[in-house]
């Protein structure tokens, strides 16, 4: 394959001039097309083709059929060319152009009649009627079509054959020339690359490199040679050693150069040289002879500055002398150190006793924690148990499998959750233990150790009372359903009473909401538990490396007690939160917003929910602050669940509080996609929920609306805004604040 086109091999303008001259002489139209049917040169066209056949959509179909036929039969040649009569009634002749054995183009002539096949006027009149041509104009164009003998066509094609052969020869010469130019450019580029590569290699050599001709003039130096001599490359090229060094040294250098040129043997010498910058150097040179292809001799040398090496040898001798003296001194020091070591061993034994005592104190601190705690490894082996857990199980089971000690074999303990814990996730679930027939809330926290391993810290909380409350709630709900089915006629009379009962039911539902509270507690406790775990590991590490001191133990105990106190305060906060207010009071809205965010902030942080709030610190409201916080918490929790359900990217909440006339306004706006129009009007209805599958009860927003509108005589509304939903709380703003 040539890999080149016809236009790259032949001058089309010269070909056009030849074809135009041929047209002026013979009147025969001609064209050259490439193998993709693109017209490269076209000279003269018959009016009957241009104005009629090619211009009419139906007649042009016959022209394209002719093109397709010619292309398909291009190799069915007689006398080196192919003639064909198209369906429009005119003859065409084509000849392929081969260059280098490859078909690159086709030369074309046509739009004529043979003298032995003259046009049938009735055929063309029928054509005029079929295609709607003006018959007089169409026959006039027909009369101008050239009539040729077959001999004339053969002579014309002989001319074209010669033209094609000439184009092929010129094309091949152009091809050979272009290839030769390409090869030469490639060779020159490769030669330049070799020179550049050689220069880079020589200039990266740290030692000076130089080349001299037979007259001992420098013809090549590298960058290191320039640096050590203090001359530029332009200043060095063409100079001899007599131009650079004093006479005695120059004579010595010239003599060694001559020995290499005459004998061809390698020469190694050491010289003391003062360069132009004034420093004296000890130089070792290695010189060799090189002959090029023309027989010219060159001296190739490399020099190495051994000044520092000489200086180092002298310093080593002095160092050896000093070292012998220090060995004697060190021997005496080792004897004294041995006595000190014996004393330290005795002190270490005393420290080990104190360490055991400190570990006992630390164990007492952990055992005082009110809850069941154990630490297990990735193979489920117990590594630590607090006293309350030991008392509960009946023995210290460190080293045994945790499910044999703590859980029942038939209990629904999700062992598959361990994989999630060891991937860094905090996992919690509810579990019924058949051993004592009680419900527990289990929290698993992953802990990373300094050696790269992991362990699982587990906290177990008794939630049996909450589960009983849930069962009681279910029974009450079932009883209400049965009552409604049997007392349908009394529904209208009891609506108002049932609304009040719902408030009582919602108040009782707070106990059932402890599951949500426990989740918040788990988030609040996660960091303290991590910290306690790290302190325990640090204490063990210090013990194993004999670094445990009384101050360190006291400091560790203080930190652990601080973490435990923080965790106890968290329980008190949530416990007080679920105690209802008895009387209306004045309260700052900012304090209520801050308290609500402190409850739910760990859960928000886990879901990467961003909270932006702008609350007036001096904005007061009148009502029940704890119930107001509960209403806020319900709205924020619903927003959190909506973000999680819809997998919102970059979730964000915007909380604003401001005064408006005699009311205090709080707005909570999210970017969770809004509430569907067919459900937004029902979201405050009792038991209405869109998340039954995920445990939604439909009580939360109903309770929030009752708190704001019935208890605090305000308003709670919701609307869709841009890319989310906005809850708007309006409560009474007192004219005077009676104090913080």
Confidence bin at 724 (pLDDT 50/70/90): very high
Confidence class for position 213, pLDDT limits 50, 70, 90: very high
- Domains of the chain, first to last: 6-179 (3.30.450.20), 205-305 (3.30.450.20), 580-732 (3.30.565.10)
The pLDDT score that the predictor gives to residue 499 is 46
pLDDT, residue 375, reads 86
Percent of the chain with pLDDT over 90: 12
Q: Lowest-pLDDT range, 223-227, 559-563, 578-582?
A: 578-582
Are 620 and 575 a contacting pair, CB within 8 Å?
Answer: no
Region 716-734 average pLDDT: 91
What is the per-residue pLDDT for 671? Answer: 92
User: pLDDT value at position 728?
Assistant: 95
What is the chain's mean pLDDT, rounded? 80
State the pLDDT confidence band at 240, using cuts at 50, 70 and 90. very high
More confidently predicted of 240 and 436: 240
Query: Which of 102-116, 258-272, 305-319, 544-558 reaches the highest mean pLDDT?
Result: 258-272
**What letter would DSSP give residue 711?**
I
* Angle of CA points 721, 727, 733, to nearest 5°: 125
Q: 124 is written with which tokens?
A: 């063309």
- The listed range with the strongest mean pLDDT (72-76, 482-486, 529-533, 639-643) is 639-643
What integer pLDDT is reported at residue 310 of this predicted model?
77
Query: What are the structure tokens assigned to 732, written together?
Result: 């009474």
Q: What is the pLDDT of residues 476-511, one digit of tens each?
A: 888 777 777 676 666 556 544 554 555 554 554 555
Question: Do residues 268 and 284 lie in contact, with contact meaning Cβ atoms separated by under 8 Å?
Answer: yes
Query: In this model, does residue 220 exceed pLDDT 50?
Result: yes
Question: Can you tell me the distance from the alpha carbon of 163 to that of 32, in angstroms, rounded to the nearest whole number?
Answer: 12
**pTM tops 0.75, yes or no:** no
Q: What is the mean pLDDT of residues 12-21?
A: 85
Q: What is the pLDDT of residue 716?
A: 93
pLDDT at 247: 84
Average confidence (pLDDT) over 77-83: 76
Q: How far apart are CA 165 and CA 206, in angstroms?
A: 63
Per-range mean pLDDT, top range of 253-257, 535-539, 571-575, 597-601? 253-257
Find the mean pLDDT for residues 48-68: 81
Radius of gyration of the chain (CA): 51
Would the pLDDT of 574 be above 70?
A: no
Reduce the DSSP state of residue 53 to 3 states and report it. helix
Supply the angle between the helices 57-72 and 121-131 in degrees, to the nearest 10: 120
Highest-confidence segment of 323-332, 548-557, 616-625: 616-625
More confident residue, 559 or 303: 303
Instruction: Give the whole-angstrom CA distance, residue 66 versus residue 623.
Output: 96
Element (H, E) at 302: strand 297-305
pLDDT reported for residue 390: 83
- Mean pLDDT to the nearest integer, 618-628: 88
Q: Which of 335, 334, 361 is nearest to 552 (CA)?
A: 361
**With contact defined as beta carbons under 8 Å apart, do 562 and 569 qualify?**
no
At residue 6, the pLDDT reads: 79
Stated length of the chain: 740
Q: What is the mean pLDDT of residues 594-613?
A: 84
List, in sequence order, every beta strand (DSSP E) within 568-681. 585-588, 610-615, 620-623, 652-660, 663-670
pLDDT digits (tens, 9 = 90+) for 247-287: 888 888 899 999 999 998 999 988 887 765 556 778 889 99
The more confidently predicted of residues 414 and 180 is 180
For 659-679, the pLDDT digits (tens) are: 998 899 999 999 989 999 888
Q: Answer yes or no: is pLDDT of 126 > 80.
A: yes
pLDDT the model gives residue 412: 47
Question: In whole angstroms, what is the distance from residue 268 CA to residue 259 CA?
Answer: 11
Q: Rounded to the nearest 5 degrees, what angle is found at the Cα of 631, between the Cα atoms of 706 and 645?
A: 110
Minimum mean pLDDT range among 27-36, 93-102, 294-303, 495-504: 495-504
Residue 108 CB-density burial (10 A; 0-12 exposed, 13-18 middle, 19+ buried): buried
């Amino acid at each position: 394959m040539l890999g080149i086109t016809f236009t790259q091999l032949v001058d089309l303008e010269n070909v056009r001039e030849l074809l135009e001259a041929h047209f002026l002489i013979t009147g025969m139209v001609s064209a050259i097309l490439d193998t993709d049917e693109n017209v490269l040169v076209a000279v003269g066209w018959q009016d009957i083709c241009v104005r009629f056949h090619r211009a009419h959509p139906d007649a042009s179909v016959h022209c394209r059929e002719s093109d397709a036929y010619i292309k398909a039969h291009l190799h069915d040649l007689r006398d080196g060319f192919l003639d064909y009569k198209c369906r429009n009634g005119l003859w065409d002749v084509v000849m392929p152009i081969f260059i280098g054995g490859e078909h690159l183009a086709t030369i074309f002539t046509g739009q004529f009649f043979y003298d032995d096949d003259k046009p049938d006027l009735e055929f063309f009149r029928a054509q005029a009627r079929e295609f709607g041509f003006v018959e007089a104009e169409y026959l006039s164009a027909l009369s101008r079509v050239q009539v040729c003998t077959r001999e004339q066509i053969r002579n014309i094609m002989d001319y074209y054959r010669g033209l094609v052969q000439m184009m092929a020869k010129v094309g091949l010469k152009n091809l050979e020339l272009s290839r030769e130019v390409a090869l030469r450019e490639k060779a020159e580029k490769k030669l330049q690359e070799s020179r550049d590569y050689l220069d880079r290699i020589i200039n990266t050599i740290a030692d000076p490199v130089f080349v001299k001709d037979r007259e001992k003039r420098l013809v090549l130096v590298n960058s290191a040679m320039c640096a050590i001599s203090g001359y530029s490359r332009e200043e060095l090229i063409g100079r001899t050693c007599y131009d650079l060094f004093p006479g005695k040294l120059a004579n010595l250098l010239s003599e060694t150069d001559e020995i290499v040129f005459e004998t061809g043997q390698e020469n190694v010498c050491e010289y003391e040289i003062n360069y132009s910058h004034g420093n004296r150097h000890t130089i070792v040179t290695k010189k060799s002879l090189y002959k090029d292809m023309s027989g010219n001799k060159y001296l190739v040398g490399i020099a190495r500055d051994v000044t520092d090496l000489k200086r180092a040898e002298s310093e080593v001798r002095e160092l050896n002398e000093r070292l012998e003296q220090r060995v004697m001194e060190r021997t005496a020091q080792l004897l004294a150190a041995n006595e000190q070591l014996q004393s330290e061993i005795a002190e270490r034994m005393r420290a080990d006793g104190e360490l055991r005592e400190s570990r006992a104190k630390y164990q007492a601190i952990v055992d005082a924690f009110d809850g069941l705690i154990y630490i297990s490894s990735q193979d489920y082996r117990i590594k630590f148990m607090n006293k309350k857990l030991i008392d509960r199980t009946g023995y210290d089971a460190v080293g045994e499998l945790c499910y044999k000690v703590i859980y029942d074999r038939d209990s629904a303990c999700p062992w598959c959750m361990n994989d999630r814990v060891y991937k860094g996730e905090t996992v919690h679930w509810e579990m019924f233990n058949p051993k004592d027939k009680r419900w527990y809330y289990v929290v698993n926290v992953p802990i990373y150790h300094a050696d790269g391993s992991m362990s699982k810290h587990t906290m177990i909380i008794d939630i049996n009372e909450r589960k009983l409350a849930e069962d009681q709630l279910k029974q009450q709900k079932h009883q209400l359903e049965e009552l409604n089915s049997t007392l349908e006629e009394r529904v209208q009379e009891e609506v108002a009473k049932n609304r009040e009962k719902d408030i009582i039911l919602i108040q009782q539902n707070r106990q059932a909401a402890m599951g949500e509270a426990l989740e918040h507690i788990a988030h609040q406790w996660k960091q303290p538990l991590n910290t306690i775990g790290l302190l325990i590991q640090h204490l063990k590490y210090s013990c194993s490396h004999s670094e445990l001191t009384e101050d360190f133990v006291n400091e560790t105990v203080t930190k652990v007690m601080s973490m435990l106190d923080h965790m106890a305060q968290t329980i008190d906060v949530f416990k007080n939160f679920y105690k209802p207010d008895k009387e209306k009071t004045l309260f700052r809205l900012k304090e209520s917003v801050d308290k609500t965010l402190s409850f739910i902030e760990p859960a928000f942080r886990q879901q990467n929910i961003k909270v932006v709030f702008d609350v007036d610190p001096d904005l007061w409201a009148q009502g029940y602050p704890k119930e107001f916080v509960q209403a806020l918490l319900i709205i924020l929790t619903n927003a959190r669940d909506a973000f999680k359900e819809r997998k919102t990217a970059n979730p964000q909440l915007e909380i604003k509080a401001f005064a408006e006339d005699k009311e205090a306004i709080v707005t909570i706006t999210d970017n969770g996609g809004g509430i569907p129009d067919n459900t937004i009007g029902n979201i405050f209805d009792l038991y209405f929920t869109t998340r039954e599958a995920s445990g939604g009860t439909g009580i939360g927003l109903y309770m929030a609306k009752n708190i704001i509108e019935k208890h605090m005589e305000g308003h709670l509304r919701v609307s869709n805004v841009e890319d989310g939903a906005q809850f708007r709380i309006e409560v009474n703003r007192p004219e005077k604040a009676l104090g913080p």
